[in-house]
Amino acid sequence: MTNIATPTYLQDANQLLSTDGFKSTGTWYHGTASGLTDAILEKGLIGSGDAELNQKTKSTMATIGNSYTERKEPVFLTQSKELAYYWANNKAELRKSRFGADETPVVFELTLPEALANKVKTDVGAATMLLAGNDPYVEHVQALYTQNKLLLPELDPANIDRMAYLNILGMAYIGVDVPAEHLKLLAE
């Protein structure tokens, strides 16, 4: 069970969630830590964009004698502000544990032109969450379904339709960088 208290202005599961899962409206959201806000507002969302965290990981791996190869990860997206806040909370906690920073979760709204919107894909990499059995994110989604008096469908990673990762779990990504002009920092 999750203990993340989503601020009221980001709660949207009650409007988006139905027996078919999370409705997509064409607006996307990305959650991250407040320490990255200025860079995102200046440069946009860049895959694997937490340069400070990447450098820390590289340095740690070198210290213990292992090599580290950076990979360009896509930008995580979701159709729900509430789900984006979950990931923002995780990122803020990760940066706090790595840097001792007192960062807060923040959510960006993305309004994408058609050329970029067509590049949004359902995140089938979320299958690892289902294979794990007890994944905190899946438990969080389960709680949202329960709060809205709905049942989270049984998800068998061996037979799941790829669109279920988007519709049921709210997991998507874009494999290209998103310019800052398409972003808006959400605030109360």
* 38-68 tens-digit pLDDT: 999 999 999 865 545 445 444 544 556 666 5
pTM for the full model? 0.87
Q: Domains in the chain: how many in total?
A: 1
Tell me if 132 is assigned to some domain: yes
In angstroms, the CA 56 to CA 126 distance is 25
The boundaries of the domain holding residue 148 are: 8-185
Residue at 157 is within a domain: yes
| Residue 113 placed within a domain | yes
181, part of any domain? yes
Q: How far apart are CA 188 and CA 184, in angstroms?
A: 13
3 inside domain:
no
Per residue in 93-150, pLDDT (tens digit) is 988 987 887 899 999 999 999 999 999 999 988 888 888 878 899 999 999 999 999 9
Neighbours of 29 (CB within 10 A): 25
pLDDT band at 171 (very low <50, low <70, confident <90, very high): very high
For 129-147, the DSSP string reads HHHHSS-HHHHHHHHHHHH
- Asked if residue 1 is part of any domain, the answer here is no
How far apart are the C-alpha atoms of 153 and 22, rounded to whole Å?
12
Q: Return the HEC string of 85-124.
A: HHHHHHHHHHHHHHHCCCCCEEEEEEECCHHHHCCEEECH
Could you tell me which residue, 74 or 80, shows the higher pLDDT? 80
Token pair, residue 74, equals 């896509």
What tokens appear for 68 in the block?
Answer: 């580290």
Domain membership flag for residue 2:
no
Question: Whole-angstrom Cα distance, residue 28 to residue 7?
Answer: 18
